[in-house]
Amino acid sequence: MTTFTTTDGVDIFFKDWGPKDGPVVILSHGWPLNSDSWENQAFFLAANGYRVVTHDRRGHGRSTQVWDGNDMDHYADDLAQLIEHLDLKDVSLFGFSTGGGEVARYVGRHGTGRVAKLGLISAVPPLMLKTEANPDGLPIEVFDGIRAGSVADRSQLYLDLASGPFFGFNRPGAKASQGMIQSFWAQGMMAGFKNTYDSIKAFSETDFNEDLKKFDRPTLIVHGDDDQVVPIDRAGRASKELVPHAELKVYPGAPHGLTDTHKDQLNADLLAFLRG
């Protein structure tokens, strides 16, 4: 396996696809998944001449299941160290769901000196949790429920998410893909118990408002208007307000997991954005 070791001793697995002299794209994955969740986009972009790097977040997939450091600051610092390890420049960074938070916090902590373009796909910023300053957010009970489900029966929780709201298979007339469901479950079960549990707090309670204000590169925001996991008004549209120059693409009827359900549309939009 291809890995590098962070300064705090965590082995991070990564894939490096496509021509090594091609324009660089990094794809950061969602919870509780790993880099395999980006394979449709990674294969497509690599086949179109891009060098595509994807990594398993600490505690997920094939990376070390470290006990501590399961938070956005560490996720962002790991991403920075990956970029430095490969000495990548003019990188286009795209984050899906929790990965969108990772990308935003990377910009907030490390700037855009190595960045060419930015993308938030079904992403969690600016803030999911309901607070006094964020009254339209989701109540803490929603995330406490996910934590309780993780402790009670993590395997069943992932099956329920994948067969229901994540891909929109709970909508009337939806045709469920057992392949997508099983892939989500398998990736989730590869991740560490403590890591995925801690990550619920990381993706729900981290405030990315100030990070988004530092987005000074061309930015693409893609969100489905039937996202039952990360509702578009609290996420994609709210991020657009903080990044006025961003291009917001709304996919009518699309669920959270549109990297799979709308992969052809997303692939075309990513390529057009990268080439634009």
Print burial letters for 49-87: b (CB count within 10 Å at least 16), e (below 16): ebbbbbbbbbbbbbbbbbeebbbbebbbbbbbbbbeebe
Amino acid, res. 238: A
| Rounded CA Rg of the chain | 17
Beta strands, E only, 43-150: 51-55, 91-96, 115-121
Which entry of 163, 256, 260, 269 is annotated as an active-site residue? 256
Q: Which residue has the tokens 């505690």?
A: 59
Q: Which residue out of 227, 239, 260, 269 is catalytically annotated? A: 227
256 included as an active-site residue = yes
CB 102 within 8 A of CB 57: yes
Burial of 201 (0-12, 13-18, 19+ CB in 10 A): middle
Please confirm, yes or no, whether 97 is among the known catalytic residues.
Answer: yes
Phi-psi region of 174 (alpha: psi -120 to 50; beta: other; left: phi over 0): beta
Q: Is the separation of the CB atoms in 227 and 122 below 8 Å?
A: yes
Taking the C-alpha atoms of residue 25 and residue 45, their distance in angstroms, rounded to an integer, is 8
Return d(Cα 259, Cα 179) in angstroms, integer. Answer: 14
Catalytic residue chosen out of the listed positions 35, 97, 122, 163? 97
Helix (H, G, I), strand (E, B) or coil at 36: helix
- Amino acid in the structure at residue 2: T
Task: Verify whether residue 85 is a known catalytic residue.
Answer: no
Give me the active site residues, please.
97, 227, 256
